[in-house]
Amino acid sequence: MASALLSFFGGILFAVIALHGPWFIRLPVRFFAWLFMGTPLLLQLFLIYFGLVQIGIDLPAFVAGVIGLGLHFAVYNSELIQTAIIAVDKGQMEAARTLGLSRGQALRKIVIPQAVRDVIPPIGNNMIALLKDSALVSVIGVSELTLTAQLAIGRTYRPFEFYVVAAVCYYIINLGLEAVLRRIERRVQAAR
């Protein structure tokens, strides 16, 4: 859940900076996005958990997992949100500015809500991918469903049963997430 929130709000922040930030902030954010999109999530988790220790930053495995998943998907959400912000009619910004809102207020109150509303389905798909990719945090020692299944297999030597149970659990969680996302999409469509 924490990774999903980080990926959503981080994606909005990265998108706004990439489109409207000053160049000295925009360039590092774009480089960061390029770097995260060009490397695998597993490598990013290793770098955050094992690599940061080398420079004196020792994060617990859970925190490293949340940060790794959150930042990885924030970059992808940022690309979606940037596209949606660009797609909002420029007249919306002009009208907001005419009404006396600052550029930041117009973005926060007018443009971004419209953009986010348009990207709910693809961001929902990213949230489902995040849920599935959360199994990767088991490699840095975070006890989640896949690692729990592996530990049970180590005690019982019955891999098929435990992997099937883990797959069924992931599928049930996925169905619940899909139902929540469909409900959000219907509410957004009804509000239009």
- Residue 61's domain comprises 2-191
The residue-averaged pLDDT of 58-72 equals 94
Q: Provide the pLDDT for residue 192.
A: 66
Encoding tokens for residue 64? 């490293």
What is the residue whose two structure tokens read 């990719």?
133
User: What's the predicted TM-score (pTM) here?
Assistant: 0.84
* Total of domains in the chain: 1
Q: How many CA atoms lie within 13 A of 97 on its CB side?
A: 8
Percent of the chain's residues with pLDDT above 70: 99
Percent of the chain's residues with pLDDT above 90: 64
Give yes or no for a contact between 48 and 67, defined as CB atoms under 8 angstroms apart. Answer: yes
Instruction: CATH number of the domain at 145, please.
Output: 1.10.3720.10
* Helix residue spans in the chain (DSSP H): 2-20, 23-37, 41-46, 61-87, 90-98, 103-106, 112-118, 120-133, 145-156, 159-191
Q: Provide the pLDDT for residue 117.
A: 87
The residue-averaged pLDDT of 152-159 equals 90
Least confident segment among 28-32, 75-79, 83-87, 187-191: 187-191
| DSSP string across 94-140 | HHHHHTT--HHHHIIIIIHHHHHHHTHHHHHHHHHHHHHHGGGGGGG
Q: Is 99 or 189 the better-scoring residue by pLDDT? A: 99
**Does the pLDDT value for residue 32 go beyond 70?**
yes
Give yes or no for a contact between 80 and 122, defined as CB atoms under 8 angstroms apart. Answer: yes
